[in-house]
């Protein structure tokens, strides 16, 4: 039997990521594109935040900077207390992602030759902090939470889009990262499945205390978020907080 | 195993494009098996020719008076060979199990009354000769009549059967001609050494000494066979001490010419194998590159979720090595099977059986399949793949995860 869900370590409300006057400029010069412009943003532990805005508003760039996949051209990014703005090697950035960040992608991006079980396990193996028994328990726990126990031996091409995204959520959550970033996680799903996925993310947020930041331009899905950050032309134009459900 | 999960993923990735992996694997398989077969072939030539020479003609070391070497073609019997018994004892004392024989080589003529054949005659002590050379029984006919043994080639030429009377003529030590017209043919000698089989007759010591008018303890050459072939070098130092009038020829010197030719042969085969392995390397590099290109997004995902660039390199390298490993194992099996077949049954060259001397390829060649050859073949196969895998692996590890994730968007 899977063990009880484990809550991510850390205190509720502590700062997970901080962006200070962060900008990201592509092609500096005449044809420069300012994808992120002087962003100040603090994400605290346990938040369930939606980044909202039209295409090209800078949602993905902001997510990439939050996730240490990209770095701002000016300003500062601090993830889990570590300044990751500049001067880090690809390996060091990888290590930060490995230890502190989970990703959920629009196209699921599961490894096609691995089963649902193995896809989740793979993230733990990369993480390298658990022994085989602990990994097995954690993967089974995640599969149980995600309602995928009976599909654990199926490969991605044998799963529906919604099931694949569940596996991707399991992969992101299994190592209990400080922050989970989801870039348009429902863009390739139908309305009902999208609702299910967001509801599942929300449940993981509440049950496990996981910190989620996700991007979407689906107004309907924004209703699930406890905090909504609106972006336009790379700038934060408004922020809105909502009371917790229940 | 450390990073076992990378091995599992690599194994599954290697199976993703089976046709491409199969072609890469096949080129490694061919290179490895060809390496084993060709090297076993050339090593077999070396081993077979050395064995034929050592086992049937010159043992591990052959000692002659230095001046004799200049006159050897005429096989003179008047060249002094000082202290044959003393030298034989000193050689025998080099190591327990050493066998030593002295013999007299002379120019002979044999025939059946109608036809004659010039050949080499040897005068030997039968038992000592058998102890040094594995020539078979050397049967002794009943009665007191003189007898000799002859190589199978000579016996076949004349159609001799054991007991037949044959004609023998030679110059004695004093330079006079001597002939016997009723020597019994005691039996054939079959050694595989063309010169022994086709051009040699052997007389027992008592008959040869009388026929050639030889003094006691006379010899034209002393031969020694050691439990360890390397002792030939020690024998050479012993014989060629300062002031010595003797020269020692080791088995390595006696076989140097054909071993040198074999080195050229080996190099030529190595070039062929290298070309095939280069094809394999190109296959590995191509497979790796195609894989990296096709899986850009997947590699980006792996890096995004924390797989370090070094591990990406490792993953890609393992994929190539796994394909090469399977190719190398199958290549070792195939190559070993072929080489083993010819090691047991030999490869026959009937046209060489009438050769006058040890030729550059023996009439029956037994391949020499060694663990060293198998190890080298496997190492070359896998090593080539490893080197070829570096570029695609490095290229994959240098992908920016963010760029990789944008692929196909």
Using one digit for the tens of pLDDT, what is the confidence trace for A35-91? 999 999 999 999 999 999 988 899 999 999 999 998 899 999 998 888 888 788 888
Q: Does A185 touch chain B (CB under 8 A)?
A: no
Q: Please identify among residues 302-331 of chain B the ones whose CB lies closer than 8 Å to any CB of chain A.
A: 302-311
Q: Where does B100-173 have alpha helices with state H? A: 126-132, 152-158
pLDDT value at residue B328: 92
Cβ–Cβ < 8 Å for A66, A102: no
Q: Where does A39-157 have alpha helices with state H? A: 59-66, 90-100, 116-127, 132-146
Q: What ipTM, to 2 d.p.?
A: 0.88
Q: Is residue A178 classed as helix, strand or coil in its secondary structure?
A: coil
Cβ–Cβ < 8 Å for A9, A100: no
Question: What is the torsion angle, in degrees rounded to the nearest 10, for the CA atoms of residue B324, residue B326, residue B332 and residue B335?
Answer: -90
Residue-range definition of the domain harbouring residue A222: 15-241
Tally the domains of chain A.
1
Q: Does A238 touch chain B (CB under 8 A)?
A: no
A186 pLDDT exceeds 80? yes
Domain contains A166: yes
A3 pLDDT exceeds 50? no
Confidence of residue A7 (pLDDT cuts 50, 70, 90): very low
Nearest residue on chain B to A127, alpha-carbon basis = B306
- Judge: A112–B405 Cβ closer than 8 Å, yes or no: no
* DSSP count for chain A of H helices, then E strands: 7, 10
Mean pLDDT by 10 residues, chain B (409 residues): 85 87 88 91 86 90 91 84 93 95 94 90 94 88 91 92 93 90 92 87 93 91 95 94 92 88 85 83 84 87 92 92 91 96 89 59 82 92 88 89 69
- Judge: A70–B302 Cβ closer than 8 Å, yes or no: no
CA distance B339 to B336: 5
Smallest CA–CA separation between B290 and chain A, in Å?
Answer: 17
Residue matched to tokens 């790796």? B288
pLDDT value at residue A5: 41
Q: Does B297 touch chain A (CB under 8 A)?
A: yes
CA distance A69 to A90: 9
Q: Which of A94, A97, A184 to mutate to test the interface with B (most CBs of B within 10 A)?
A: A94
Higher pLDDT, A7 or B217: B217
Mean pLDDT of A208-216: 90
- Judge: A125–B5 Cβ closer than 8 Å, yes or no: yes
Mean pLDDT of A22-30: 86
- Domain edges within chain B: 4-54+257-406, 61-228
Q: Which of B14, B301, B306, B307 to mutate to test the interface with A (most CBs of A within 10 A)?
A: B306
- Assign residue B125 a region (left: φ > 0; alpha: ψ between -120 and 50; beta: otherwise): beta
Confidence of residue A1 (pLDDT cuts 50, 70, 90): very low
Nearest residue on chain B to A71, alpha-carbon basis = B402
- Secondary structure letter of residue A244 according to DSSP: P
- B178 pairs with which residues across the strands? B170
Supply the CATH number for residue A167's domain.
Answer: 3.40.50.300
- Judge: B305–A126 Cβ closer than 8 Å, yes or no: yes
pLDDT value at residue B318: 92
Mean pLDDT of A133-154: 94
Token output for A208:
């496990």
Nearest residue to A94 via CA among A126, A117, A72 = A126
Q: Does B298 touch chain A (CB under 8 A)?
A: yes
Give the closest of A95, A118, A171 to B308, CB-based: A95
Domain contains A93: yes
Give the closest of A70, A114, A123 to B9, CB-based: A114
Give the closest of A90, A94, A122 to B5, CB-based: A122
CA distance B244 to B237: 11
CA distance B122 to B129: 11
Residue matched to tokens 């490969």? A155
- Judge: B297–A90 Cβ closer than 8 Å, yes or no: no
Nearest residue on chain B to A108, alpha-carbon basis = B301
HEC secondary structure over B80-105: CCCCHHHHHHHHHCCCCCCEEEEEEE
- B166 pairs with which residues across the strands? B183
Residue matched to tokens 């002031």? B243
Domain contains A211: yes
CA distance A65 to A93: 11
Q: Please identify among residues 80-119 of chain A the ones whose CB lies closer than 8 Å to any CB of chain B.
A: 90-91, 94-95, 97-99, 101-103, 105, 107, 109, 111-114, 118
Q: Does B174 touch chain A (CB under 8 A)?
A: no
- Judge: A111–B9 Cβ closer than 8 Å, yes or no: yes
Smallest CA–CA separation between B313 and chain A, in Å?
Answer: 12
Give tens-digit pLDDT for A90-139.
889 899 999 999 999 988 999 999 999 999 999 999 998 899 999 999 99
Cβ–Cβ < 8 Å for B14, B323: yes
A244 pLDDT exceeds 70? no
Pairing state of beta strands A212-216 and A179-183?
parallel
Nearest residue to B222 via CA among B134, B136, B119, B125 = B125
Higher pLDDT, B259 or A143: A143
């Amino acid at each position: 039997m899977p063990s009880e869900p484990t809550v991510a370590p850390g205190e509720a409300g502590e700062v997970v990521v901080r962006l200070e006057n962060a900008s990201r400029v592509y092609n500096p010069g005449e044809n420069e594109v300012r994808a992120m412009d002087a962003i100040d943003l603090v994400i605290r532990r346990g938040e369930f935040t939606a980044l909202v805005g039209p295409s090209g508003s800078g949602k993905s760039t902001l997510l990439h900077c939050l996730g240490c996949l990209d770095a701002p051209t000016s300003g500062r990014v601090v993830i889990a207390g570590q300044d990751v703005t500049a001067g880090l090697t690809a390996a060091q950035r990888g290590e930060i992602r490995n230890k502190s960040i989970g990703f959920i992608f629009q196209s699921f991006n599961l490894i096609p030759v691995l089963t649902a079980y193995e896809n989740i396990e793979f993230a733990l193996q990369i993480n390298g902090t658990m022994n085989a028994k602990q990994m097995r328990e954690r993967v089974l726990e995640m599969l149980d939470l995600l309602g995928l126990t009976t599909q654990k031996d199926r490969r991605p091409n044998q799963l529906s889009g919604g099931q694949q995204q569940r596996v991707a959520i399991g992969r992101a959550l299994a190592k209990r990262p400080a922050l989970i970033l989801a870039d348009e996680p429902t863009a390739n799903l139908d309305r009902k499945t999208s609702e299910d996925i967001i509801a599942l993310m929300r449940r993981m947020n509440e049950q496990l205390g996981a910190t989620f930041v996700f991007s979407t331009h689906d107004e309907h899905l924004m209703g699930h978020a406890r905090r909504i950050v609106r972006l336009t032309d790379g700038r934060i134009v408004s922020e809105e907080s909502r009371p917790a459900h229940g | 195993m450390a990073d076992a999960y990378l091995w599992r993923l690599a194994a599954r990735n290697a199976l993703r494009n089976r046709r491409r992996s199969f072609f890469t694997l096949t080129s490694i398989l061919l290179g490895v098996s060809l390496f084993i077969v060709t090297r076993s072939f050339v090593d077999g030539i070396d081993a077979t020719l050395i064995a034929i020479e050592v086992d049937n003609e010159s043992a591990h070391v052959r000692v002659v008076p230095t001046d004799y070497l200049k006159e050897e073609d005429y096989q003179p019997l008047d060249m002094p060979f000082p202290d044959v018994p003393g030298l034989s004892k000193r050689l025998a004392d080099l190591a327990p199990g050493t066998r030593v024989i002295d013999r007299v080589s002379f120019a002979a003529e044999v025939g059946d009354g109608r036809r004659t054949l010039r050949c080499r005659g040897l005068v030997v002590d039968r038992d000592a000769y058998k102890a040094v050379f594995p020539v078979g029984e050397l049967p002794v006919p009943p009665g007191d009549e003189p007898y000799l043994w002859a190589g199978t080639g000579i016996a076949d030429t004349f159609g001799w059967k054991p007991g037949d009377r044959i004609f023998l003529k030679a110059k004695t030590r004093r330079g006079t001609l001597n002939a016997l017209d009723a020597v019994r043919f005691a039996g054939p000698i079959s050694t595989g050494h063309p010169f022994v089989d086709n051009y040699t007759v052997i007389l027992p010591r008592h008959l040869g000494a009388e026929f050639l008018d030889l003094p006691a303890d006379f010899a034209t050459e002393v031969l020694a066979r050691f439990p360890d072939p390397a002792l030939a070098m020690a024998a050479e130092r012993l014989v060629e001490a300062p002031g010595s009038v003797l020269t020692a020829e080791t088995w390595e010197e006696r076989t140097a010419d054909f071993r040198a030719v074999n080195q050229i042969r080996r190099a030529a085969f190595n070039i062929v194998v290298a070309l095939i392995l280069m094809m394999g390397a190109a296959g590995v590099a191509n497979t790796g590159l195609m894989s990296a290109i096709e899986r850009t997004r997947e590699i980006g995902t792996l890096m995004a979720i924390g797989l370090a660039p070094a591990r990406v390199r490792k993953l890609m390298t393992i994929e190539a090595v796994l394909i090469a490993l399977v190719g190398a194992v199958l290549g070792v099996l195939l190559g070993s099977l072929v080489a083993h077949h010819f090691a047991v049954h030999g490869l026959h060259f009937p046209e060489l059986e009438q050769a006058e001397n040890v030729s550059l390829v023996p009439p029956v060649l037994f391949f020499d399949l060694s663990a060293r050859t198998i190890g080298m073949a496997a190492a070359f196969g896998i090593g080539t793949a490893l080197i070829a895998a570096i570029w695609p692996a490095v290229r994959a590890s240098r992908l920016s995860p963010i760029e990789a994730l944008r692929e196909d968007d």
